[in-house]
A and B are shown apart, each in its own frame.
Chain A
Amino acid sequence: MRAGIEEVVMLDSGDGSAINIPTVEIAPSGNTLKQTLKRFPVVPATILFLVLFSAIFAPLIAPHDPQAFSISKKLLPPFWQKGGSFEYILGTDHMGRDLLSRLIYGARIAVLVSVVVIVSAGFLGLMVAMLAGYFGGWVDLVLMRIVDIQMSIPGLLFAVALAGVLKPGLKNVVIILTVWSWAVFARVVRGEVLSIKERDFVAMAKVSGSSSLFIIVKHLLPNVLNTFVVLATLQVGRLIIFEASLSYLGLGVQPPTPAWGAMLADGRNYIVDAWWLATVPGLAILGTCLGINLFGDWLRDALDPKLRQV
């Protein structure tokens, strides 16, 4: 149906101006801007705002130094339980460090890692998708086989093996997650490129002598951007969980820097004595992922409803 409509538009507008028409995406059927804004996910957006705010202003809002330890204050429960106090609202861990402060600082790692990885993996994935989708032939064949290989190795196992080689640390966590996540972008965006490059405005651009680079940057890129943004948002939740898994296994950001996954690992060891250590960081991960996933769902419905199966 959509192709039909575009053809009519092209006929009406005549010459070169038609090239630009399809790049203005047709609004998803039945969704006016007003309706979309009405369904803006207030609660998820608030959660995300809180996480971002904590990450940026951690030193200003954290009540304690996240690394200051005191053995005499170890394993204090949250304030509502017997033995707890408002000084340590969420209690302390096995080294007497304030759990709330560590949680707030932990948001830094989660945000930093997911932002950097989304940018780097997204860039890599987009490049591969453009090359494979636009040029087709053996370029496509080789690149997509690499994507296949990448995707057929169990993610965490591969990441763990790589982490063992690279030695743990922030920089290497970013490298590992980038290597792990670029393939999804490449595969989904390539599918999109394949259908866009068959459309008339690309053919016309080719006929009018545009270079491949020009067509990729000017015609293909703007048209896959919606898909890309939605996909990236929906990937953030997976990245946060993955980062937490690595740091749970002791292969992520190294102590004493607080990371949510490593805090959970401590919690597992003290599960009998201190339920809050294993519960609270998990709730932080769950809340952040719920927030970003619900926000991503909304963004997908608003920008790119056909991605629903991803």
Chain B
Amino acid sequence: MQKYILGRVVQVIICIWGITLIVFILGRLSGDPALLYAPPDATAQDIKKIRTDLGLNKSVITQYWVFLSKAVQGDLGYSFKWRESSISLVLSRIPATIQLASAALLITLIIALPIGILSAVKRGSILDTFGRIFALLGQSMPTFWAGIMLMLVFSVTFRILPTSGRGGLKHLVLPALALGWYPSAAIMRLTRSGMLDVLDSEYIKMAKAKGIPHTVVVFKHALKNASIPVVTLLGLQVAQLFSGAVIIETIFGWPGMGRLVIQAISTGDYPVVQAGVLLTSITLIVTNLLVDILYVYLDPRIKYDQAK
């Protein structure tokens, strides 16, 4: 058990190191940083001085080492545009993204779990058909188009919700719905298939034969076992949420990290892009690590396998 967690932690560290390498290479590919930092009227000598200051005259390996040791201290350079530490710039936008992502996650759970459970329990009913169509549409519909369509219906036609910006709950509804669309479909599908598998098993038949009430069988016996793959998928969906946030934030003018990164790309503000990619990836990796640990507690069989 402890050995398993330790192994995963080592894996996570290697992963994060790999991402710093990728982020470093991306930054170097984006062009000569000295030219980007230099003011427009800089002379050749100024640029040479900036280059020395930034350590760009040293070997690439030394540069990476400097990048890495600074990154560990939370320094990924200054934003060219905002003249501010790129890490703190990204961090200042993260609460907005987390608010959006958690609202989307909440919507996902509220929509997906009941539909998934009910369509498995009442297999073949109208509700089941509805659930399956929903899952199929979710899988095939681009998140951002779902967002635009929601906007068309609720903001343009009925004028009940705002099209963009961040404010009260009203501003949150549409982007969260759009962002939660795809994960809802995926979670619903998995809940349904997981419940179907479990409901078909011997011990459920046994529980039913013993006369245990139907709802108890469904929610206590079946759901607990069907929830294991769902928890794993939920962890993986966090990646989906962060990815989706990039585009949903752009559509709805939500002042989060995704929109910041897109703006930074268009202005060539690479330190901000690096900070954004690095911070989100680390968040994701750590989330998945936590999910894996949670998984061990949920499913005693894993613990047993590791103990052997």
Contact = CB atoms under 8 A, between A and B. Distances in A.
Contacts of A76: none
A244 interface: yes
A162 B265 CA distance: 10
Contacts of A278: 145, 148-149, 152
A152 B265 contact: no
A154 B280 contact: yes
Contacts of B258: 157
Contacts of B136: 290, 293-294
Contact of B152 (A145, A275, A289, A308): A275
Nearest to B30: A165
A308 B229 CA distance: 14
Interface string A240-258: 0100110011110000000
B247 interface: yes
Contacts of B193: 308
A302 interface: no
Interface in A237-294: 237, 241, 244-245, 248-251, 261, 264, 267-268, 271-272, 275, 278-279, 282, 285-286, 289-290, 293-294
Given A152-B19, A275-B152, A282 B142 contact: yes
B19 A264 contact: no
A153 B22 contact: yes
B217 interface: no
A163 interface: yes
A290 B266 CA distance: 33
A71 B59 CA distance: 55
Contacts of B29: 165-166
B246 interface: yes
Given A152-B288, A264-B148, A268-B251, A162 B243 contact: no
B144 interface: yes
Given A149-B15, A156-B243, A249-B247, 9 more contacts: A149-B14, A149-B18, A154-B239, A157-B281, A165-B26, A251-B265, A268-B151, A282-B145, A282-B148
Interface of B: 11, 14-15, 18-19, 22, 26, 29-30, 136-137, 139-145, 148-149, 151-152, 156, 163, 193, 229, 239, 242-244, 246-247, 250-251, 258, 261-262, 265-266, 268, 270, 273-274, 276-277, 280-281, 284-285, 288
11 contacts: A152-B288, A153-B277, A154-B280, A157-B258, A157-B276, A164-B266, A164-B268, A275-B156, A278-B145, A282-B141, A282-B148
